[in-house]
Structure 1
Amino acid sequence: MERKIIHIDMDAFYASVEQRDHPELRGKPIAVGRAEERGVVATASYEARRYGVRSAMSSQKAKRLCPSLIFIPGRMDVYKAVSRQIHEIFHEYTDLIEPLSLDEAFLDVTHNKPGMELAVDIAREIKQKIRDQLNLVASAGVSYNKFLAKIASDYRKPDGLCTIHPDQALDFIARLPIESFWGVGPVTAKKMHLLGIHNGEQLRTRSLAMLTHEFGKMGNVYYDFARGIDLRPVEAVRIRKSVGCEHTLEKDISRRSSVIIELYHVAVELTGRLERHNFKGNTLTLKIKFHDFSQITRSTTRPQELHTLDEILPLAKQLLKEVDYEQHPIRLIGLSISNPHEEEAKKGVWEQLSFEFSDWE
């Protein structure tokens, strides 16, 4: 039986919740985030997006693009509560739900609770219930696998509903810009362009050997996607694989004493999160973002599990010695623990992804 997969993506979720709850903001360009010099846009309303304002953009750049932009402090507790209401609607149709974040999820409706034959009818009902019950707008994509369902949900945003049938998939993929493929970021897209690959049709002409030579394991993924193949199941539960935190600094720093102090604060927060999640792992990763927004990571793996400050901080300092920051001031410092023992991994279940507003400051 052909699988029936739906991808639901809430349109400008945080901003739409704010405009719903504050009628005076409706129709105006708003950004959820902080307007300070080091602030970052979490979500922008569609009125703001017309000016080029986008998620993860610095607040200063957003204000230059849209001088009338209104910044709204985030209310994560509210967004989480609304997300739970959305999932209650999902559960009316299936329990095979894979959340990707607070505002998007995959649903496998191959065998659905109402016994509906067409997945597009389920997607249409879900969109309408979200509008009627929550006064919010969602876009939906329908297809036979996760890759194509995700592509479909982005195709006609906002308030979109798009179905990619199996007999249409190859033609649809052929026209798809390479930047729209899952797993193709700016760096990979640039490499694809240098190889003469600009769309799905050109990707499909490349051999598996060539793609794996150029892109490693991801070459297999690109080869399959170009042919409409994605066998990944919709996973209702995910194993937690890492715990981390990061701080964007108020000012760029390059003095060793200042960097060590900030590293200590991040390590303290990380150990607190590890304790709350009852998580231990064997790999510590240091992430550094420089003043020009370039970034590097350094990792070390130890035979013993890492979860206390006395274990983590000395290793973090060792990793920091591998970073040249005297001539490249630091903007952001992050630490994470990963690679849990198998028995520990089985204990951890997936938690909905959400930004920490403190990290946007």
Structure 2
Amino acid sequence: MREHASVLHIDLDAFFASVEQRDKPSLRGKPVVVGGVGGRGVVATASYEARVFGVRSAMSTREARARCPHAAFLSGRFHAYRETSRAVMGVLRELSPLVEPLSLDEAFVDLAAAGLPDLDEATVRAVGEELRARVHEVSGGLTASVGLASSKFLAKIASEIEKPDGLTVINPGTERDLLRPLNVRVIPGVGPATVERLRRSGVYTVSDLEALDEHEVVQLLGKAHGHSLHAMARGEDDRAVVPEREAKSVSVEDTYSTDVTDRELMADLLTRQAATVAGRLAKQRMSGRTISIKVRLHDFSTSSRSSTLPAPTDDAALIARTARGLLTDLDTSGGVRLLGVGVSGLADWVQEELFSDPEPPEPSDREALDRLAPVVRRPEWAPGSDVIHDEMGAGWVWGAGRGVVTVRFETAETGPGPVRSFAQDDPALHLWQPPPDDEAVARAVIPPSGT
């Protein structure tokens, strides 16, 4: 454990929704929900105005609409989120060479590597406040919550205490007093299954877990998990801030607007996802040995299957064939809500002689794309998408249907703008498209709009 609160955790508040409010002046101060906008969509982020009504991340869009019907439901614009994230991460790297991004909107920073003259409470608090001001400046007005502590675990907890738009310093020596009354869920690695196991043993708070000796925790949760949680309950965490976080897997999944019952169509869907995964592997110059599929059935039960190859691959056809083979082991007669393909056991090489594929791709590998469009394609005029009109200028899709697109013409700089409706085939109205790479990553970060 460190002697100073030199680990900083920063979390951009309601990031996706805040970017939308920044770029859409008419939505500022109003509830905004970003994610899948269809009946089976999932909330990626909700603005704080929407959270007042009980809307939360990972909630179904259907429930979110029931709780907050007057919110703006937007499908998300990954290009804007990535651009903003890059600006913020640039500020963090100016502060310290040791920055560990966790996602687009979250990172750890090691202040011990920042060359500061002192690391006392006054100094690290001043650094945190200055950082929040710089982030507000480079992001176009977004707020961030910052936590400082002697470890990554505690710094992350600290950033939640004064959220949103706050800063908290946990001074060394006070960690246990702060942790003890908190729910055991605050400890990394304590998910629903672990919570239930602990509950059956009368463990609800960190204090309850701390009271158990290490042998009891190991017996209850297993050796590796037990040792880790026993230490965390005492505020002990010596994990370093690692600038380059190595990817453990590459995957993609889609939730469908209607249950898929056709096995051939399921195979085509897996083929399409395998191609996407292979493309991401190739871009990262990576390969993987373990191919897995994820299947959520009509009754919401979820199953997974995996197969480990003798050597790594990034070949789309091989990944697709393996995924389709794994599907044969599952009973999908009742229909499928979600399918996913992943590759893990990553390496930075491919043993090509073992995985050369002299045979041409199966017909279904190519024909699948045409058949899949109605099932998984993001709506062309998705709510929130950027548009350009030859006369009216820049705006965003307010809504679309029955051959009509309604646009609000405004940008971050203009203030709230007028609303106009056009025919979808109006030659003066153009949908602004991000680069192809942005679209590919967006499908992994924002649930598909039609789901």
Aligned to 1:355: 445
Does residue 121 of the first structure (1) align with residue 126 of the second (2)? Answer: yes
Aligned to 2:163: 157
Task: Kindly provide the amino acid, as one letter, of the partner of residue 69 in structure 1.
Answer: A
CA contact (8 A) 1:93 1:113 kept: no
Aligned to 1:348: none
Match of 2:270 among 263, 272, 296: 263
Give unpaired runs (5+ residues) of structure 2.
351-440
Task: Kindly provide the amino acid, as one letter, of the partner of residue 163 in structure 1.
Answer: V
Identity of aligned residues (%): 37
Task: Kindly provide the amino acid, as one letter, of the partner of residue 333 in structure 1.
Answer: L
Mark the CA change 1:68 to 1:293 in structure 2 (over 3 Å): closer, same or farther.
same
Alignment of structure 1 residues 1-361 onto 2, 5 Å: 1-2=3-4, 4-117=6-119, 118-133=123-138, 134-216=140-222, 217-327=224-334, 329-341=335-347, 355-358=445-448, 361=451
Task: Kindly provide the amino acid, as one letter, of the partner of residue 445 in structure 2.
Answer: F
CA contact (8 A) 1:30 1:48 kept: yes
The alpha carbon displacement at 1:290 in A equals 2.4
Cα distance in 1 for partners of 2:211, 2:228 equals 14
Task: Kindly provide the amino acid, as one letter, of the partner of residue 308 in structure 1.
Answer: D
CA contact (8 A) 1:263 1:333 kept: yes
Give the structure with higher Rg (CA). 2
Aligned to 2:390: none
| Deviation by residue 1:198-253 (Cα, 9 ceiling, x = unmatched) | 01111012222222233221111101101111111000012222211112122112
Mark the CA change 1:121 to 1:277 in structure 2 (over 3 Å): closer, same or farther.
same
CA contact (8 A) 1:102 1:354 kept: no
Cα distance in 1 for partners of 2:46, 2:216 equals 40
Cα distance in 1 for partners of 2:104, 2:71 equals 24
Mark the CA change 1:123 to 1:294 in structure 2 (over 3 Å): closer, same or farther.
farther
CA contact (8 A) 2:147 2:158 kept: yes
Aligned to 1:347: none
Mark the CA change 1:53 to 1:168 in structure 2 (over 3 Å): closer, same or farther.
same
Give unpaired runs (5+ residues) of structure 1.
345-350
Mark the CA change 1:360 to 1:13 in structure 2 (over 3 Å): closer, same or farther.
farther
Cα distance in 2 for partners of 1:91, 1:255 equals 50
Deviates more, 1:213-222 or 1:142-151: 213-222
The alpha carbon displacement at 1:353 in A equals 12
Mark the CA change 1:285 to 1:96 in structure 2 (over 3 Å): closer, same or farther.
same
| Deviation by residue 1:298-328 (Cα, 9 ceiling, x = unmatched) | 111111222223322232122212222224x
CA contact (8 A) 1:99 1:352 kept: no
Task: Kindly provide the amino acid, as one letter, of the partner of residue 128 in structure 2.
Answer: A
Task: Kindly provide the amino acid, as one letter, of the partner of residue 298 in structure 1.
Answer: R
The alpha carbon displacement at 1:98 in A equals 0.3
